[in-house]
Structure 1
Amino acid sequence: MSSRDTVLGRVRRALADVPRDERPGDVPVARDYLRVHGERTPAQTADLLAENLADYRALVHRCSADRLAGLIARLLAEHDSGSVLVPAGLPPEWLAAAEHAEGPVRIPDRAASTPHELDAVDSVVTGCAVAIAETGTIILDGGPAQGRRRITLVPDHHICVVRVPDQVVDSVPQGLERLDPARPLTWISGPSATSDIELDRVEGVHGPRTLEVILVEG
């Protein structure tokens, strides 16, 4: 008997007493687990998010809404970005300060873009769907300000804007409540990284080498 046969046999035995017409929603599941670890004010939740993002080696910036465009322009300039990929629904005012003669060329998010073309882009700027403070996780769901999933996986530099406190939650259960499981979800905890058996860390293997998160208030 193969391992596959063993596993499928266990599944069949576990389902032996389940009626054929029963659906997952027919049986209530207790969800009385701890939803949040401790009590925090919105400001403390934002501080915890910033701390955990930094622990994952993301570069965290905080600013007010009226300074967001200037900060994005500065980050693009510091990265020496000659091009920036822009989702179709990105608020135009976010890149207003970067629109000048020496500013980066704006590349639209197109379905026809090839991986080679995306790899040639210097930076990408997006919003997010939700951010989870306890895990330092940013979640994208392909919304208008986020674009297609691949635009945040191929370019080497990702600037992600998080609205505080509207898009920040304490825990994973709270984050899941805001998400549609049918959408293309990308969970990001710091820049892309992996390590081998010797624990030598390598960044930028399957995503951006540099993740900059802007927590914008107001």
Structure 2
Amino acid sequence: MSARDEILGRIERVTGKRSAADVAASYARIDRGYRRRHHDGDVLALFAERVADYRAAVRLVPSDELPGAVAESLAARGAGAFAVPSGLPDAWLARVPAERIARDPAPADLDGLAGAVTGCAAAIAETGTIVLDHGPGQGPRALSLVPDYHLIVVTADQVAADVPEALERLDPSRPLTFVSGPSATSDIELSRVEGVHGPRTLEVLLVP
């Protein structure tokens, strides 16, 4: 018996084994009378403002200008190739030289790349948070954590006003990564250090 099985067995002995129907009934009884959104205005503008508050670079880019904006952002990062996951629309990369695209790189190769380009699963205007569920166009979690630079494309239909709305769009069984600005931490003297456990630079292209 594994340690996991032993721990779960102890919990089950105390709480009793519950059927899937019991769990679903308990979930349905949760009071959800809380406020679902704090803003009814322009959620895209709010999202862009909150993302910028986290020291991320954010640009509003019309859909027909997105390929050029992606190419411009990557060119500004200097030399090197960028990790690109399967499922990322080819049209987004139409103006990026082929030699600068590393499709589905191995985890061991990520540290040597100039950055990563992904889409997302959802975004939250109230908190300026981007959610990855690592499905098509997003790649494995390591792809969004190891490279020093991360470019994320967010489309208007992916932006929810607040957390409850965003969570309804997500599958809780998937591995979810919540991104609120570039990776940052502070020591005991509150000296901010970026890039410790994720990308040092986060850039967001918001497509209205």
* Superposed pair shares fold, TM > 0.5: yes
Q: Determine the structure 1 residue equivalent to 2:78.
A: 80
Contact 1:87 1:147 in 2 (8 A): yes
Does structure 1 residue 179 correspond to structure 2 residue 170? yes
Alpha-carbon deviations, 1:18-50, whole Å to 9, x = none? 77546332231111011111322xxx1000000
**Per the alignment, in what secondary structure is the counterpart of residue 51 of structure 1?**
helix
Q: Determine the structure 2 residue equivalent to 1:114.
A: 107
Q: Determine the structure 1 residue equivalent to 2:6.
A: none
Contact 1:132 1:172 in 2 (8 A): yes
Shift in alpha-carbon separation, 1:128–1:114, aligned structure 2, 3 A: closer
Gaps of 5+ in 2: 1-10
Q: Determine the structure 1 residue equivalent to 2:47.
A: 49
RMSD: 2.1
**Per the alignment, in what secondary structure is the counterpart of residue 97 of structure 1?**
coil
How high is the TM-score relative to the length of structure 2? 0.87
Contact 1:132 1:171 in 2 (8 A): yes
Shift in alpha-carbon separation, 1:82–1:33, aligned structure 2, 3 A: same
Rounded to whole Å, the distance in 2 between the matches of 1:196 and 1:82 is 32
Rounded to whole Å, the distance in 2 between the matches of 1:77 and 1:20 is 57
> In terms of Rg, which structure is larger?
1
Residue correspondence of structure 1 range 1-218 to structure 2 within 5 A: 21=18, 23-27=22-26, 28-40=29-41, 44-99=42-97, 104-110=99-105, 113-115=106-108, 117-164=109-156, 166-217=157-208
Deviation at 1:125, TM superposition (A): 0.6
Gaps of 5+ in 1: 1-11
| Between structures 1 and 2, the one with greater helix share | 2
Deviation at 1:99, TM superposition (A): 2.2
Count how many residue pairs are aligned between Structure 1 and Structure 2: 195
Rounded to whole Å, the distance in 1 between the matches of 2:199 and 2:18 is 46
Contact 2:60 2:205 in 1 (8 A): yes
Shift in alpha-carbon separation, 1:81–1:134, aligned structure 2, 3 A: farther
Deviation at 1:149, TM superposition (A): 1.0
Alpha-carbon deviations, 1:149-172, whole Å to 9, x = none? 1101000010000001x1001000
- Return the letter of the residue paired with 2:196: V
Deviation at 1:72, TM superposition (A): 0.7
Rounded to whole Å, the distance in 2 between the matches of 1:48 and 1:21 is 43
Shift in alpha-carbon separation, 1:19–1:87, aligned structure 2, 3 A: closer
